[in-house]
Structure 1
Amino acid sequence: MPQPPYIRTKPLIPGPVTRRTILKAGGTLLLSVFPILPAAAAQILAVRVWPAADYTRVTLENDSDLKVTHFTVPDPQRLVVDIEGLELNPTLKSLVAKIQSGDPYIKQVRVGQNRPNVVRLVFDLKEEIKPQVFTLEPVGTYKHRLIFDLYPVKAVDPIAAMIEKGEWSRADAPVGSPELPAPAPKPPVAATPTTTPPASAPVTAPVPAPVLVPPAGPVLAQPTVPVAPALPVPKTDLPEPAPVRPDPPRVAAQKGDKGGKVVRMMTIALDPGHGGEDPGAIGSAGTREKDIVLAIAKRLKFKLEEQPNMRVMLTRDGDYFVPLGVRVEKARKVQADLFVSIHADAFMLPTARGSSVFVLSEKGATSTAARWLANKENLADAIGGVNIQSHDKQIASVLLDLSTTAQINDSMKLGKAVLGEISGIARLHKGSVEQAGFAVLKAPDIPSILIETAFISNPEEEAKLRDNGYQDQIAAAITKGIKRYFAANPPLAKGRQT
C-alpha cells in the first residue's frame, strides 16, 4: 500500500528567528559537548590531636562545612568516620603521624580514599569510647572545624584521679561519690629469702628493704616519699636537687594533731585558663597564654601542698581544652573551698600593663576594661569548641545560677588578700579588686577569683611571664594571699555532699 506523502505541519523553528532563540540553542549545544563539572572538593588545612586523660580530641580544620557519618565497631574497638566531599591530601595523611604512643584512647589511625569524593578514617582504639563528632563554624582565627571528641565510657572522676596520684585519701572521699577504683597494685618486689626479717631488723644496703606495710604499700626503692608514715626516709636518701613535697596534710587529716583534734583538709581548685584548641592570648614574641598559666598553676600547686592541710586539684594538668562549665563542676565535685582561675590576658593597647584580681559581679563590671576582659574570656567555649547538642545540661546550668551575696563577699575577701600580696612583687593594673561577669566564677557555693598575672600583650610583661623567677614569685605571692585569707576566715567543718 503506498505511503501517504510526508506533510510538515510545523516549522522547525516556530516564529521568527530571534537572538534569544539562537542563544538558547548555543547553550544547549555547549552543555552537550562539555559535561557539568563537579564541585571542587573541600581542602583540609590543618589537623591537630589533643590527648588527655579526660578525653582525646582530633580536629580537622577545613575551608568549608563537611558532611560526616560515623559508627563504632567492637572486637577490636574501632571508630569509623566517613567524610563526604573530600579528597585525600598530604595534610590529612599527616594525621597518622600525629597519634602519640601515650594517647589514652587512640592506638593508631588509618586514612584512605574509601570511594570517589569520600575519605574514611579508622581509629583503632585502646578501649571502648563514647565518641562525639560535630562541626564548628569559623570563629577567631579558625575556619570550619570538624571535631572528634573521644570520651571514656566511664567519665574520669576528679577525686578518683587524685586518689590514684596519692593526693587524696580514700577515707576522705565525699559520700555519694561515684564508685572509686581500688588502689592500683604495686609492681611485685624482687624475690627475697623465704625468711622475712622481723619489723625491728635494720635495713641495710644494697639488699632491697623489705616491705613493712601491707602489700599495697610503696617499695622503698622508688624515688618518691612513701605515703605510709611508718617508714620515714632519711632526707639524705632523697634525690637532689629536686625538692620532695612532705606529706603531713594527709596524715593530719586522718589521724588528727597532737591534741587529738582532727584537722580538716582545705581543698583548692586551680584553674589554668584556656588550653588545647583555645591558646588564649598570644604575645608579640609568640608566647601563648595557655602555656604560661599552666606553668604558673603547677608552681602554685607545689607551693600550696607544702602548707599544712592543703591539697590542690587542677582543672587541667596538660594542654587540652576544658569547657567553662566543666571547670566549675570539677571544683564542685571535689568540694573545693576556693576556686582560683589563672590568666595572662591581652588588651587592645600594648601599653596596658599590671596584675589584676577579679571576682564575680551581679550588677555589671566595675570598669570598661573589666567588662571587655570578661566578654573575651567568656568566648572560650566558642573558640575551644563545645558540642552544644550533647553538652551536659546540668553542668551548663551551673553557669546560669545566681551566686549568693555571701559567696561574692567571701570572694572579695580572698581577692583583697591575694591582691595585697601580689602588689609586693608586681605592678598593679588597678589598686582594688575588680568585678565583672566572668562565667568561670559562677560557682554558687565556692569563693572564686580570677587572677590576671600580667598583660601578655605588653612586650615587657610578656618577657616577665616567660621568666621562671617571675612565675615563681607570682606563685609565692598567691600562696601567701591564700594563707592570709584562711587565717582570717578559717573554713567551717564541711558536711559531706550526697
Structure 2
Amino acid sequence: MRLFKYHTVVLYTVLLCLFISTKVLAKNNMEGVRVWPSPESTRVVFDMSSKPDFSYFMLKNPLRLVIDLQNTQQAKYLPSVPKKHNLISKLRYSKPKKKNSTRVVFELTGAVKPVVFALAPTGPYKNRLVVDLYSKKQKSFSVDKSTAKKRTRTADRDIIIAIDAGHGGEDPGSIGPAGTYEKNITLQIAKRVARLVDKEPGMKARLIRTGDYYLKLNTRTAHARKKRADFFVSIHADAFSSPGPNGTSVWVLSLRRANSEIGKWLEDKEKHSQLLGGAADLIKDTANEKYLAKALLDMSMDHSMKTAFQVADEVVKELKSVSKLHKKRPQAANFGVLKSPDIPSILVETGFISNPKEERKLNTAQHQQRLAQAIFYSIRNYYKRNPPDDSLFASLKNNKPLRHKVKSGESLSVLASRYGTTISALKKHNQLKKNTLYIGQILMIPKA
C-alpha cells in the first residue's frame, strides 16, 4: 500500500511538472492571423493571447521576411493572401531556432520596407503583432513638391470632391449594439455620395478608401491632395458611452480642444482609432507634425476653414429633412483628418451607431441614400454659387459659350454626359454628320 501511494505521488508530481514546464515554455498563443491588403501597403495582424516577444530579419534570393515569436504556440492555419495589391505570395511556417517558438515566413513578390510593432489590447482586440509592408517601388504619400505643386489651369474643368470613408481594415470604428461596424456603414454611404457627384456635369468624385483596409490619417489628406481635390468630406457614424444620444452632426476644424462632451469623446475616439489601426503613426510621424504646425499658420488655412464652415452650414440644413440633428450648427473639434491647410474639409457624423434605433436606420439602403443626397446637394449648391474661376460651373454661371478640345478616349456620349446635353444636340450645334471625333478637335457646347 505504501509503495502504491509512493508511485501515485511520483506520477502526479511528474505530470504537474510537465504541465508547468509546457506553460512556461509556450506561454503565448497565436489565436489568429488576418491579412489586410490596401493600395499603399499590405498589413498582416497576428492576434496573440499575451504581449508578443518577437524579432525579424530579411532574406534574399528569394526575398523573404522572417518573424520569430518566442515562447509562442502557432495558429492552426495561416490564411491565404488576397491577390489584389499583393506584396506577399505566401505565408508559411518554418522550423524555429528555439523550441516552443514559432517562425513565420513571408514569401515576397518584390522589395519591401517592413514596419513591425506590437499593439496592446484596445477596443475589440487583444494583444497583436502588426506587420506593415510598404513596396519600395511605390511613391510615398507624404507632402512633397510633387504633390504640393499648383494645379494646371484647364478651362471648364471638373470640381474634384474627395470622399473619405472613415476607419477601415484593422480599425472597425465604433461597433453598434447589434454588431454593426462603422467602417462598413461609412464606405457604403461614401460610395453613394461618389455616384451622385459623378452624375453631375462639372463635378468628379475621388474615393479615398475604396475597400476594407486601413489608411493612416495623414495619408488620407495626402491622397486628396494628390488627386487635386477642391473639397474633402470625411464620413463617419457617431458613438457615445451610453445608447441615449442620437442625431446627425457636422464638424469643422478647431485649433483648440473641443469644448463639448461629445466633441471630447470624438477626439479621444480618433486617437483610439490610431491605436487600433496604426500605432506607428503616433511614434514615427513627427516630421508631418512639424509640417502641420507651420502650415496652420499659412493664409490658405484661413480660407479653407471659412469655406469648410459655409459648406458645413449647408449640410446641416439639408440633413434637417433626413434625420434628427444632434447639433443645429456645425461643431468644431481638433480632428487630424480635417487639418489639410489647402483643402476645405468637413466631417459628417451620419448618426449614433451606439443608439439601437439609429443603428438599424444606418443599415438601410433608403436612409443611406437620403444621407448621401443631403451631403451631395450641399456641396454642389455651394460650388454653384462659389465656383472656381477655371471650372465648368463658373462658365455656366457666367453664361459663357463653352468650347471643348477633344482629348484621347472622349466620345460624343462621354461629352454629352459631362455637359448635361445630348448627342444629337452636340452634332447639330457643331454641324457634325458622323459620330467620329478627332483628338484636338474644338467643339462648341450647347447650353443644357
TM, length-normalised to structure 1: 0.67
Q: Which runs of 4+ in 1 moved over 6 A?
A: none
Q: CA deviation at 1:315?
A: 2.1
Give the equivalent residue in structure 1 for 2:123: 140
Contact map agreement 2:38 2:214 (CA 8 A) in 1: no
RMSD (CA atoms):
2.8
Give the equivalent residue in structure 2 for 1:117: 100
Q: 1:145 to 1:399 in 2, by over 3 A?
A: farther
Matched residue count: 364
Give the equivalent residue in structure 2 for 1:317: 210
Contact map agreement 2:237 2:350 (CA 8 A) in 1: yes
1:100-156 superposed Cα distances (whole Å, 9 cap, x missing partner) = 344511111111442403211111222222211111223233222111111111225
Q: 1:374 to 1:493 in 2, by over 3 A?
A: farther
Equivalent residue runs for 1:76-225 within 5 Å: 76-88=62-74, 92-95=75-78, 97-102=79-84, 104-114=86-96, 115-155=98-138, 176=146
- Which stretch shows the higher mean deviation, 362-371 or 438-447? 362-371
1:264-290 superposed Cα distances (whole Å, 9 cap, x missing partner) = 322221111111111011111111000
- SS of the equivalent of 2:28 reads coil
Contact map agreement 1:61 1:144 (CA 8 A) in 2: yes
- SS of the equivalent of 1:43 reads strand
Q: 1:131 to 1:337 in 2, by over 3 A?
A: same
**Amino acid corresponding to residue 110 of structure 1 in structure 2:** R
Q: CA deviation at 1:41?
A: 2.4
Q: 1:428 aligns with which of 311, 325, 340?
A: 325
Q: 1:445 to 1:132 in 2, by over 3 A?
A: same
- SS of the equivalent of 1:54 reads coil
Contact map agreement 2:220 2:337 (CA 8 A) in 1: yes
1: CA distance, partners of 2:91 / 2:123 = 29
Give the equivalent residue in structure 2 for 1:418: 315
Give the equivalent residue in structure 1 for 2:349: 452
Equivalent residue runs for 1:290-369 within 5 Å: 290-369=183-262
Q: 2:296 aligns with which of 402, 422, 445?
A: 402
Contact map agreement 1:93 1:111 (CA 8 A) in 2: no
Structure having the higher helix fraction is 2
Equivalent residue runs for 1:227-266 within 5 Å: 262-266=155-159
2: CA distance, partners of 1:394 / 1:154 = 22
Contact map agreement 1:375 1:438 (CA 8 A) in 2: no
Q: 2:52 aligns with which of 45, 66, 81?
A: 66
2: CA distance, partners of 1:324 / 1:291 = 18
Structure 2 unpaired stretches of 5+: 1-12, 392-448
Q: CA deviation at 1:300?
A: 0.8
Equivalent residue runs for 1:10-25 within 5 Å: none
1:38-65 superposed Cα distances (whole Å, 9 cap, x missing partner) = 4542112332111122111111121332
Contact map agreement 1:378 1:438 (CA 8 A) in 2: no
Contact map agreement 2:111 2:137 (CA 8 A) in 1: no
Contact map agreement 2:168 2:213 (CA 8 A) in 1: yes
2: CA distance, partners of 1:463 / 1:267 = 32
- SS of the equivalent of 2:58 reads strand
1:399-450 superposed Cα distances (whole Å, 9 cap, x missing partner) = 5453633322111101011221121222211111111111211111211100
Give the equivalent residue in structure 1 for 2:415: none
Give the equivalent residue in structure 1 for 2:8: none
Structure 1 unpaired stretches of 5+: 1-29, 159-173, 179-252, 257-261
Greater RCO (CA < 8 Å, at least 6 residues apart): 2
1:430-474 superposed Cα distances (whole Å, 9 cap, x missing partner) = 111111111211111211100001111111111111111111111
Q: 1:393 to 1:370 in 2, by over 3 A?
A: closer
Q: CA deviation at 1:157?
A: 6.9
- SS of the equivalent of 2:317 reads helix
Q: 1:399 to 1:281 in 2, by over 3 A?
A: farther
Q: 1:270 aligns with which of 163, 180, 193?
A: 163
**Amino acid corresponding to residue 105 of structure 1 in structure 2:** L
**Amino acid corresponding to residue 145 of structure 1 in structure 2:** R
Give the equivalent residue in structure 2 for 1:55: 41
